[in-house]
């Protein structure tokens, strides 16, 4: 099984949030972890926002960013190209998704077409998970 993490799931690997333990358990079962290239920027934006909003967490956020940087080369990175953004546009229309959510979904869908292993979609948005299920993916 390939564990595809959208940014909300990816963050749960580095900061303690609800469902972090469940995600880490599934991570142990995965052959590989796949992420979309945009997850890097989205994760850094979210972590930086948290450091600004909760200054006492700044040291932990710095550690989370360092851990993400250390792990990043081990992830299967799905690149964004024109066919993927066109697919994302179709998904945005079909499932009423926000832009980056549709890109995450298109990347996970693409991973499923490339891989011989099933994709387990890890995301924490109900509309996005419903769309992933309709596309034949299992969800966390």
pLDDT tens per residue, range 35-49: 999 999 999 999 999
Average pLDDT over residues 125-138: 96
Distance of CA 81 to the CA centre of its chain: 17
pLDDT tens per residue, range 56-105: 999 999 999 999 999 999 999 999 999 999 999 999 999 999 999 999 99
Largest CA distance in the chain: 44
Q: Give 116's pLDDT tier (boundaries 50, 70, 90).
A: confident
Q: Give 23's pLDDT tier (boundaries 50, 70, 90).
A: very high
Domains defined along the chain, listed by start = 2-39+75-139 (3.40.50)
Answering whether pTM is above 0.85, one says yes
For 124, phi and psi rounded to 5 degrees? -125, 40
Buried b (16+ CB within 10 A) or exposed e, 6-32: bbbbbbbbbbeeeeeeebeebbeebee
């Amino acid at each position: 099984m390939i564990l595809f993490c959208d940014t909300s799931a990816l963050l749960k690997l580095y900061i303690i949030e609800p469902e972090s333990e469940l995600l880490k358990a599934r991570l142990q079962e995965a052959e590989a972890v796949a992420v979309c290239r945009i997850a890097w920027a989205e994760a850094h934006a979210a972590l930086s926002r948290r450091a600004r909003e909760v200054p006492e967490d700044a040291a932990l956020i710095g550690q989370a960013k360092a851990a993400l940087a250390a792990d990043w080369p081990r992830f299967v990175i799905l690149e964004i190209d024109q066919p993927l953004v066109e697919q994302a546009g179709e998904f945005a229309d079909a499932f009423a998704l926000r832009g980056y959510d549709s890109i995450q979904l298109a990347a996970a869908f693409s991973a499923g077409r490339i891989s011989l292993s099933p994709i387990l979609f890890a995301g924490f948005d109900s509309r996005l998970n419903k769309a992933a299920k309709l596309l034949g993916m299992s969800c966390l």
